């Protein structure tokens, strides 16, 4: 436990400067927006740290529990969503300044919006590069408690860099600083909101675009069908069997139709023949045609190409790709 705590602390110390650039402006404008004494400024700062603590601890628990890096499809929406919420809070807080009329219908909501603990928690969910490194390390520990312990140390290490920001809260006694903080709060809030909104839009359209596509290649194929009428097909099969783990079958050009009903959409057909390929086969799976003089050396080059490159294709559709030496 102590080793994980120290490791997290050292990680936070080494990356604290980046955290200051990411979260420092948010805390800075929040502290300056209202008139505060140095004492109340540190009290507010402490509440922000409490919120950050819980945000960090939750991610540490999750990362350690799953024993692997949190997938992008889960991590990215949370991060961009927190940016939108954080941006909205900063804009709202910059305009209202934390002062709400009793007749204002937003008074009740404003109490929660202007809550420094909530603000701190949301900043703890905003996944920056240092945070990603901490998640990756917590995941490698393979335990929820170990992950949470590392993040507690990480929280302490990064908080040291944020501590000087609390002293700026005393400047809020000057009206000019409060006005400046209000303008800055709206600008920073708009930036966070734009980042979050554009990120979610990108995720949505990327997911929609990729929903009908699949990636095929020798490494990911379920079956590789080698269409050959001579011994070169056997040679290619021997070479590929040392590089990939999927099923590899050699068939003659006369038997192409026989695999139409049994092939999978992620299968690949490798054609070593110069004749015409059945168009029905190319409509369903990827057909990679060898175009060149057959030799052991060229087959080695062909197999190297197959194990390096993959293809993006519509799900359930095929294509023909001609490989030349």
pLDDT, tens digit, 9 for 90 and up, residues 19-56: 676 677 777 777 776 666 777 878 888 888 888 888 77
Average pLDDT, the chain: 74
Q: What domains does the chain contain, in order, with CATH numbers?
A: 2-211 (no CATH), 215-324 (3.40.50)
The pLDDT score that the predictor gives to residue 104 is 42
Residue 140 has pLDDT above 50, yes or no: yes
> Residues 81-98: what's their mean pLDDT?
73
Task: Answer whether residue 216 shows pLDDT above 80.
Answer: yes
pLDDT at residue 64, rounded to an integer? 64
Pairing mode, if any, of strands 268-271 and 223-227? parallel
Please give the pLDDT value at position 42.
Answer: 82
Distance, CA of 292 to CA of 266 (rounded, Å): 25
pLDDT single digits (tens) 167-215:
766 665 666 766 776 787 788 778 878 888 888 888 777 665 555 677 7
HEC letters along the chain:
CHHHHHHHHHHHHHHHHHHHHHHHHHHHHHHHCCCCCHHHHHHHHHHHHHHHHHHHHHHHHHHHHHCCCCCHHHHHHHHHHHHHHHHHHHHHHHHHCCCCCCCCCCHHHHHHHCCHHHHHHHHHHCCCHHHHHHHHHHHHHCCHHHHHHHHHHHHHHHHHHHHHHHHHHHHHHCHHHHHHHHHHHHHHHHHHHHHHHHHHHHHHHHHHHHCCEEEEECCCCCEEEEECCCCHHHHHHHHHHCCCCCEEEEECHHHHHHHCCCCCCCCEEEECCCCCCCHHHHHHCEEEEEECCCCHHHHHHHHHHHHHCEEEEECCCCEEEEEEC
pLDDT bucket at 100, cuts 50 / 70 / 90: very low
- The pLDDT value recorded for residue 89 is 73
Structure tokens at 169: 């809260």
Distance CA 147, CA 116 (A): 25
d(CA 303, CA 239): 7
- Reported as a single tens digit per residue, the pLDDT across 263-273 is 777 888 888 87
What pLDDT band is residue 108 in, cutting at 50, 70 and 90?
Answer: very low
Pairing verdict, β 247-251 and 223-227: parallel
């Amino acid at each position: 436990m102590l080793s994980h705590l120290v490791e997290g602390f050292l990680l936070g110390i080494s990356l604290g400067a980046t955290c200051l650039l990411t979260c420092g402006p948010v805390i800075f404008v929040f502290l300056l927006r209202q008139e505060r004494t140095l004492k109340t400024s540190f009290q507010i700062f402490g509440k922000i740290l409490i919120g950050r603590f819980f945000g960090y601890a939750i991610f540490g628990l999750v990362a350690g529990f799953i024993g692997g890096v949190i997938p992008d499809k889960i991590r990215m929406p949370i991060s961009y969503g927190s940016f939108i919420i954080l941006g909205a809070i900063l804009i709202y807080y910059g305009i209202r300044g934390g002062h709400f009329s009793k007749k204002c219908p937003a008074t009740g909501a404003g109490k929660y919006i202007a809550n420094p603990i909530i603000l701190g928690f949301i900043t703890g969910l905003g996944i920056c590069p240092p945070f990603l490194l901490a998640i990756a390390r917590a995941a490698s520990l393979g335990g929820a408690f170990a992950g949470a312990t590392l993040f507690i140390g990480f929280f302490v290490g990064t908080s040291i860099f944020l501590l000087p920001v609390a002293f700026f809260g005393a400047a809020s006694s000057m009206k000019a600083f409060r006005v400046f903080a209000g303008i800055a709060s709206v600008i920073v809030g708009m930036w966070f909101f734009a980042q979050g909104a554009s990120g979610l839009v990108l995720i949505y359209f990327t997911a929609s675009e990729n929903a009908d596509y699949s990636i095929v290649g020798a490494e990911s194929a379920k079956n590789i069908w080698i269409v050959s009428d001579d011994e070169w097909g056997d040679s290619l099969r021997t070479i590929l069997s040392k590089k990939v783990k999927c099923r590899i079958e050699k068939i003659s050009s006369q038997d192409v139709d026989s695999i139409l009903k049994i092939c999978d959409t992620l299968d690949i057909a490798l054609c070593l023949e110069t004749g015409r390929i059945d168009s029905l086969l190319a409509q369903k799976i990827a057909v990679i045609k060898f175009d060149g003089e057959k030799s052991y050396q060229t087959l080695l080059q062909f197999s190297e190409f197959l194990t390096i490159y993959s293809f993006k294709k519509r799900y359930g559709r095929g294509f023909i790709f001609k490989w030349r030496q």
